[in-house]
C-alpha cells in the first residue's frame, strides 16, 4: 500500500499515539517541566507555559488567542468537539475544567504572584503583574482592544440588551440587569449586595481595586485623567455640536444632542413610511 504504518505506543495492548521515546503520555511519554517543584507538562524548551514556554497564537491578523486547529483559534474557524463545550444547558462557551466554563463553576487560575488574588490572564500572571493585553490596532490608539482587534472607540461592539428599546449592556442570557440578568449575591447571611470577589460583597470582605481620587487637596471626586477630576483640570472630549460645551458621551456628542439625533432619525423614518403608504394607496386607486 501507499501509506505508511500508523505508529502506536510500544506498550503492550496500547493503541495510542506515541509522544516521546515510543510511548504515549499514559506510559511515560510526557516530559515534565524542568523547573524545580513543577509537575506540569513541558511544552517548549523543557518548560511549561507557566515557566516560559510560548503558546502558538492564531494566524488571523490581530488575534492573540491560542491555536487549536489548523493554525486558527476556535473563534476563527478551529473545530471543537462536543467535549470541549460547556455541559451547562444552552451554554456554548468553552469548557475549562470539570466539563463546564468559568461562568458555570470551572475554577479560574489565580495569578502566581504571592498574595495576589486576581485571575491569571496569560503567562500565569494577571494584568497588574505583567500579563500582556492587546492594544487597539487603530493607528496611534493606545486603548485596550475589546473585540475584533479594536477598542470601543474604533468600532468594537458590545452586546446590547435584547429587550425592545433597551440599549443597556447585556450581562447574561442576552439581557441587562434591569430586564432579568442574574447577578451573584453576597453569600453572607441576610445580605443582598452584589458579590464582588470570593462570593462576598465589599462590606463582608471582598477586596476590590479602589478608584483613584483627585489629587487636589480636600477634593474627594474621582480622578478622570492626569490624577485630577474634571473640575481641577482633567481634559475630556466636548460635544462636537457647534457652540456646545457639554462632555461628549457616545458618538462624539453629549446626551442632549444624542437624544436630538435619535428623535430626528425617528421622525425621518416615520415620514418616509408615511410617504411610502401614500404612494401605495395612489397606485392602488390608479
> Average pLDDT of the chain?
77
**Mean pLDDT value across residues 211-238:** 84
85-96 average pLDDT score: 78
Q: Is 170 within 8 Å of 180 (Cβ atoms)? A: no
| b/e code 238-274 from CB counts within 10 Å (16+ = b) | ebebeeeeeebeeeebbeebbeeeeeeeeeeeeeeee
Q: What is the pLDDT of residue 266?
A: 60
210 pLDDT tier (thresholds 50, 70, 90):
low
Q: What is the DSSP letter of 240?
A: S
Per-residue pLDDT reduced to its tens digit, 119-159? 787 778 887 788 877 888 888 888 888 777 888 788 887 78
Report the share of the chain in percent with pLDDT over 90.
0
d(CA 56, CA 69): 11
Cβ atoms 119, 128 nearer than 8 A: no
Give which of 207, 209, 206 is closest to 222, Cα–Cα. 209
- 91-123 pLDDT, tens per residue? 777 787 777 887 787 877 888 888 887 778 777
Amino acid at each position: 500500500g501507499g501509506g505508511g504504518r500508523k505508529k502506536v505506543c510500544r506498550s503492550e495492548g496500547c493503541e495510542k499515539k506515541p509522544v516521546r521515546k515510543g510511548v504515549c503520555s499514559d506510559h511515560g511519554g510526557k516530559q515534565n517541566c524542568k523547573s524545580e517543584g513543577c509537575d506540569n507538562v513541558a511544552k517548549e524548551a523543557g518548560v511549561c507555559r507557566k515557566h516560559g514556554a510560548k503558546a502558538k497564537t492564531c494566524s488571523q491578523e490581530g488575534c492573540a488567542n491560542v491555536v487549536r486547529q489548523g493554525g486558527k483559534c476556535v473563534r476563527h474557524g478551529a473545530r471543537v468537539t462536543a467535549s470541549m463545550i460547556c455541559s451547562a444547558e444552552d451554554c456554548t462557551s468553552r469548557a475549562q475544567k470539570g466539563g463546564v466554563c468559568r461562568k458555570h463553576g470551572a475554577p479560574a487560575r489565580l495569578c502566581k504572584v504571592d498574595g495576589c488574588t486576581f485571575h491569571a490572564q496569560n503567562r500565569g500572571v494577571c494584568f497588574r503583574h505583567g500579563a500582556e493585553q492587546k492594544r487597539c490596532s487603530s493607528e496611534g490608539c493606545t486603548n485596550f482592544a475589546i473585540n475584533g482587534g479594536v477598542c470601543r472607540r474604533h468600532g468594537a461592539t458590545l452586546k446590547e440588551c435584547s429587550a425592545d428599546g433597551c440599549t443597556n449592556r447585556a450581562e447574561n442570557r442576552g439581557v441587562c440587569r434591569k430586564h432579568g440578568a442574574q447577578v451573584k449575591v453576597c453569600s453572607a447571611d441576610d445580605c443582598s449586595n452584589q458579590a464582588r470577589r470570593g462570593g462576598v460583597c465589599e462590606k463582608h470582605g471582598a477586596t476590590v481595586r479602589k478608584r483613584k481620587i483627585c489629587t487636589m487637596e480636600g477634593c474627594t471626586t474621582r480622578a478622570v485623567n492626569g490624577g485630577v477630576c474634571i473640575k481641577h483640570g482633567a481634559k475630556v472630549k466636548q460635544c462636537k455640536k457647534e457652540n456646545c460645551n457639554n462632555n461628549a458621551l457616545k458618538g462624539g456628542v453629549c446626551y442632549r444632542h444624542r437624544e436630538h439625533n435619535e428623535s430626528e432619525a425617528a421622525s425621518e423614518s416615520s415620514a418616509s413610511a408615511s410617504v411610502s403608504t401614500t404612494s401605495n394607496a395612489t397606485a392602488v386607486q390608479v
